[in-house]
Amino acid sequence: MLLRILSILFPLFAITALGFVVGRRRRPDLSHVNKLNMDVFTPALSFAALASKELHLGTYLPLMGATFALIVGSGLVGWAAARLIGMDPKTLVPPVMFNNCGNLGLPIAVLAFGPEALAAAVVMFTVSNVLHFSFGAWLLDHHTRLSTVWRSPSVLAALAGLVVGVMGWTVWPPLLLSIRMVGDIGIPLMLFALGVRLAESRIEAIGVGVFGAVLRPVAGMAIAWALLQLVDLPAREQALLLVFGALPPAVLNYMFAERYGQEPDKVASMVLIGNMAALVFMPLALAVALRP
């Protein structure tokens, strides 16, 4: 089991470590590359995963509902914790509520459960993205228009892929292969960019950073376990939900905090320490998810 977990996590952390080393030594500006990844490569990945097979949307509805409940439940835990320690909920709730289901979640799904798990992982990623770009943005700025979520290429591509899959339409194989090849750039680039981002970040609020970094996976795994007692999911989706719950805070939380001026130094610390803590929490989640 330990060797299996190591073989799953090693490529993720190896590519992230490479990005960290390059970020330290060369300090590359990946702003344009990251935009390409969000606007081109990840949408292609989402579309190819959902359009490459005939989908029965009804089979994913329980997973979508469980994912929604996990995200909302994590947000409520973050809100209660913020009130308890006298912290601004706008600072703590997003990092606890929205996890790194892109940079880490999609690669782990493929490496741990095979390419067949990618479609389900993309569905979870889409639910999280829709909530993050709508409620997450509104939470930080109540003047934000919720309709802007539909401008996200990742969301649009996932919805297009769902339509193609549900309708049973066949995409011309050479075209689908081209889209898949473009999408294949996304996952390693996500990991590399995460390493560069970690190299650029600074830990300034250690106490808050550790608190948020631990609360995110602990609350997520506890809520995922509780949901699995209530929702009947296939074995693979049960494992995916547990791993989803253990993921660290999303890097996007820092970008949102910086954009809206919501204590970005504290959010950056939670994101940085949280992704480092994934070295502990991800093996734990995989050990539970992969148990016989």
- The total of structural domains in the chain comes to 1
* CATH number, domain with residue 190: 1.20.1530.20
Kind plus residue range of the DSSP H or E element containing 252 = helix 251-260
Six-digit token string for 127:
């639910």
Kind plus residue range of the DSSP H or E element containing 29 = none
- The tens-digit pLDDT sequence of the chain (292 residues) is 677 778 888 888 888 889 989 999 998 988 888 888 888 998 898 898 888 766 676 788 999 999 999 999 999 999 999 999 999 999 999 999 999 888 788 889 988 898 889 889 988 988 998 888 888 888 988 777 766 667 778 788 888 988 888 888 889 999 999 999 998 898 888 788 878 877 876 666 788 889 999 999 999 999 999 999 999 999 999 999 999 999 999 877 877 887 788 888 788 889 888 888 888 999 999 999 988 7
Contact 47, 169 (CB under 8 A): no
Residue 233 lies in domain: 2-23+31-289
**3 state SS of 249:** strand
**Single-letter residue type at 238:** Q
pLDDT score for 246: 95
Exposed/middle/buried for residue 50 (C-beta within 10 Å: 0-12, 13-18, 19+): buried
What's the CA dihedral at 163, 166, 167, 168 to 10 degrees? 120
- Whole-angstrom Cα distance, residue 200 to residue 270? 14
Contact 130, 149 (CB under 8 A): yes
Residue ranges of E strands in the chain:
none
Cα separations in angstroms, 42 against 125, 163, 179, 271: 11, 18, 10, 21
Six-digit token string for 209:
């950073």
Contact 16, 193 (CB under 8 A): no
pTM of the model: 0.83
- Whole-angstrom Cα distance, residue 219 to residue 15? 27
pLDDT score for 11: 86
**To which residue do tokens 């939380």 refer?**
253
pLDDT score for 269: 83
Closest CA relative to residue 183, chosen from 30, 53, 39, 46? 46
pLDDT score for 155: 80
Q: What angle do CA 92, 237, 194 make, to 5 degrees?
A: 45
- With a CB cutoff of 8 Å and minimum separation 6, the contacts of 226 are none
Concatenating the DSSP letter of every residue in 162-193 gives HHHHHHT----HHHHHHHHHHHTTHHHHHHHH
pLDDT score for 146: 65
